[in-house]
Chain A
Amino acid sequence: MATLRIDKLNKSYGDAAILRDIDLSISEGEFVVLVGPSGCGKSTLLRMIAGLDGVTSGDIFIGERRVNNLEPAQRKIAMVFQSYALYPHMNVKKNMTFGLKFAGLAQPEMDRRVAEAARMLQLGPLLERRPRDLSGGQRQRVAIGRAIVREPDVFLFDEPLSNLDAALRVSTRVEIAKLHRLLGATMVYVTHDQIEAMTLADRIVVMNHGRIAQTGKPLDLYYHPANLFVAGFIGSPAMNFFSAKVHKKGAGAVTLSGPGVPAFDLRAASFAAPVGASVKIGVRPEHLGAEGPAGFRIAGAVELVERLGETSYAHVRAAEDVAFTAESRGRDAPKAGDRIILSAHDRDLHLFDEDGQRIAIE
């Protein structure tokens, strides 16, 4: 177990900057999930921590050691790959012990570690089998076992569940969460699946275009996204955005309106944007409810309803190029063609300035 600290880390291939000035500090035993769209640099960051990709500039510290120039094996990390990457010509047991041989471990110690990992992951009956005789879930458990027997300071996971089917993904996700509780080890986990991120993480790092867009606890990101990107990325279905302008700033309230959004007063002791500024109003589909007494309100015609059982998603058009999604619960969901009026509570509104940064409301 160890801390992990990343300091002004950069990575570029020729002129193409993959990672720009990444600063990240992970404490002992913390489970940090890196999320972001494909190509945001999250896997590259993980591979740099592992030592599989070189550092262009900046520093990586594991514990107190600067590991920039250390081989992967010397960094006391273990990595679990999306493709499992099991040695196909070795059985499960050899897959787990192959690397330990080179660490100079004695046979009884190797046996002890394998037995313990096998117990944790229910691999006992599989130890003599070859990878090709295992199912996807079993292979991923072996890959995790191979990481555990190394007893690393930091576990690195590179989209470990992406190759599994939906049901197995849920159960393996739960297993990884239990494993983290059991081992208490520092873990860095890369995924593009925000459900994995929300459920597993102590802290989520959202990345975009090689930069960290926001770092925070899962619910912080959900309730207080720092910018438009995070607001749109976290939450499913995605947050609705409406363009609006600041009309009036009075004592204790600002008046906003925009295409499809009738003017309304937002209670705010202080509001950073000036009168006349363009803003984006963000509202999550699950926060749009029946018409309230005052505040944000929007009306439109239902174009399509997706029914998932308890919840339904109505796709609504408010104006020619203003569309949004609203969630409703229970049996009486709106029907296509209905005209509906919805509103949202002040505390569920997110406001962003022209640069996409969150506007603080007090």
Chain B
Amino acid sequence: MPMRARISVLGVHAVLLAYTLLAILPILLVVMNSFKTRNAIFGSPLSPPNAETFSLIGYVSVLGKSNALVYLENSLIVTLGSMFLVLLLGAMAAWALTEYRFRGSTLLVLFMSIGIMVPIRLGSVAIVAMMLRLGLNDTLAALVLVYVAQGLPMSIFILSEFIQQIPKDLRDAARCDGVPETRIFFEVIAPLLRPAIATVAVFTMVPVWNDLWFPLILTSSDSTHTITLGVQHFVGQYTTDWNSVLSALSLAILPIVVIYIIFSRQLISGLTAGAVK
């Protein structure tokens, strides 16, 4: 490799490395400090736990005395529930909007793209009022509904792009084969969308899991709080239980990482290899 190319590669890696460090360091700090005593957290926040400072007190109090497990469960239900609905409805809508021409289909596509441009939080007040009227305030269903609305437009947009890349001949072949339209979607098209669906799943799930705003305005009782909201319980007006906050945050990272790993393994291209040509 010529010298100049090598330098530019090194430069790129240096920039990426710096960015990675920047992104990972706070997380590392949280996880590290969650295993330390309260004094050690404030005494030397940047040092890893050693034999002297190691403590599980945060985890004991989070798992033992608080509702953290309920919060985690709520977060999982909301995240997986909205992810499932966004993927199912998004893929079906994307297929319908790219495959079929019907009265108002263009208008519908336009409507969906507005959903991408306008942040859903602008409608917060209306959403709260609506949920109250529907009797859904303080339920997980309210959260799921809001997140589905939030995630659908983008997922339809991304999946439509992928669907357009699937050869039209496949659908025609299935029609000649006598495969009903719904089965064409679920048994021919959907399996080919797997990488796209995994992408959309990751895009949908991370912001839902991390969201604080809608749990804050839509849930009020302890039994419906999600983990991001639940953590706030340890932050008091006068004292903050830093051990618990850090432990709860560390626990909150785990499930999303696991789900991410599962889906990222699906992010493989070349699934349509062999279909045509």
Q: Which of B175, B178, B272 has the most chain A CB atoms inside 10 A of its CB?
A: B178
Residues of A within 8 A of B275 (CB): 83-88, 131
Q: Contact string, B163-184, partner A, CB cutoff 8 A, digits 1/0?
A: 0000101101111111110010
Q: Contact string, B106-144, partner A, CB cutoff 8 A, digits 1/0?
A: 000000000000000000000000000000000000000
A96 to chain B: closest residue by CB: B177
B273 touches which of A47, A77, A85, A88 (Cβ 8 Å) = A88
Determine if B26 is an interface residue (Cβ-Cβ < 8 Å): no
Please state if B178 and A72 are interface contacts (CB–CB under 8 Å).
yes
Bound Cα distance A89, B191 (Å): 7
Given contacts A89-B191, A89-B192, A102-B180, contact A81 B173 (CB under 8 A): yes
Residues of B within 8 A of A72 (CB): 175-176, 178
CB contacts under 8 Å to B, within A110-139, are 130-134, 136, 139
Please state if A163 and B170 are interface contacts (CB–CB under 8 Å).
no
B169 to chain A: closest residue by CB: A85
Please state if B271 and A73 are interface contacts (CB–CB under 8 Å).
no
CB contacts under 8 Å to A, within B176-216, are 176-180, 183, 187-188, 191-192
Please state if B179 and A99 are interface contacts (CB–CB under 8 Å).
yes
Given contacts A79-B172, A83-B169, contact A102 B179 (CB under 8 A): yes
Bound Cα distance A131, B192 (Å): 14
Bound Cα distance A219, B178 (Å): 38
A28 CB to nearest chain B CB (Å):
21
Bound Cα distance A81, B179 (Å): 17
B267 CB to nearest chain A CB (Å):
17
Residues of B within 8 A of A103 (CB): 178
Residues of A within 8 A of B172 (CB): 47, 50, 52, 79, 81, 85
- What number of residue pairs across chains A and B have CB atoms under 8 A from each other? 90
Please state if A163 and B277 are interface contacts (CB–CB under 8 Å).
yes
Determine if A71 is an interface residue (Cβ-Cβ < 8 Å): yes
Determine if B23 is an interface residue (Cβ-Cβ < 8 Å): no
Determine if A150 is an interface residue (Cβ-Cβ < 8 Å): yes
Bound Cα distance A50, B188 (Å): 20
B177 to chain A: closest residue by CB: A99
B170 to chain A: closest residue by CB: A85
A77 touches which of B167, B176, B180, B192 (Cβ 8 Å) = B176
Determine if B276 is an interface residue (Cβ-Cβ < 8 Å): yes
Residues of B within 8 A of A78 (CB): 176
Please state if A102 and B276 are interface contacts (CB–CB under 8 Å).
no
Q: Contact string, A39-79, partner B, CB cutoff 8 A, digits 1/0?
A: 00000000100111000000000000000000111100111
Please state if A99 and B277 are interface contacts (CB–CB under 8 Å).
no
A82 to chain B: closest residue by CB: B169
A115 CB to nearest chain B CB (Å):
19
Determine if B64 is an interface residue (Cβ-Cβ < 8 Å): no
Please state if B167 and A85 are interface contacts (CB–CB under 8 Å).
yes
Please state if B274 and A86 are interface contacts (CB–CB under 8 Å).
yes
B140 CB to nearest chain A CB (Å):
35
A139 to chain B: closest residue by CB: B274
Bound Cα distance A83, B277 (Å): 5
Residues of A within 8 A of B175 (CB): 51-52, 71-73
Determine if A93 is an interface residue (Cβ-Cβ < 8 Å): no
Bound Cα distance A102, B172 (Å): 16
A159 CB to nearest chain B CB (Å):
11
Given contacts A73-B178, A87-B188, contact A130 B274 (CB under 8 A): yes
A56 CB to nearest chain B CB (Å):
16
Please state if A83 and B178 are interface contacts (CB–CB under 8 Å).
no
B96 CB to nearest chain A CB (Å):
18
Bound Cα distance A103, B169 (Å): 21
Bound Cα distance A52, B169 (Å): 10
Please state if A79 and B173 are interface contacts (CB–CB under 8 Å).
yes
Residues of A within 8 A of B170 (CB): 85, 87
B191 to chain A: closest residue by CB: A89
A81 CB to nearest chain B CB (Å):
5
CB contacts under 8 Å to A, within B222-277, are 271-277
Residues of B within 8 A of A50 (CB): 172, 176
Residues of A within 8 A of B173 (CB): 79, 81, 85-87, 146
Residues of A within 8 A of B272 (CB): 88
A85 touches which of B179, B271, B276 (Cβ 8 Å) = B276
Please state if B169 and A134 are interface contacts (CB–CB under 8 Å).
no
Please state if B177 and A102 are interface contacts (CB–CB under 8 Å).
yes
Bound Cα distance A194, B191 (Å): 39
A320 CB to nearest chain B CB (Å):
46
Residues of B within 8 A of A132 (CB): 273-274
A102 touches which of B183, B191, B192, B274 (Cβ 8 Å) = B183
21 contacts between A and B (CB under 8 A): A50-B176, A52-B176, A71-B178, A77-B176, A81-B173, A82-B169, A83-B169, A85-B276, A86-B274, A86-B276, A87-B170, A87-B173, A88-B271, A98-B177, A99-B176, A99-B179, A102-B178, A102-B179, A102-B183, A103-B178, A132-B273
- Sorted from nearest, which 5 A-B pairs have the closest CB atoms? A99-B177, A132-B274, A73-B178, A131-B274, A83-B276
* Further pairs besides A71-B175, A73-B179, A102-B183: 13, Cβ < 8 Å: A47-B172, A72-B178, A73-B177, A74-B178, A79-B173, A84-B277, A85-B173, A85-B276, A99-B176, A102-B178, A130-B274, A133-B274, A150-B177
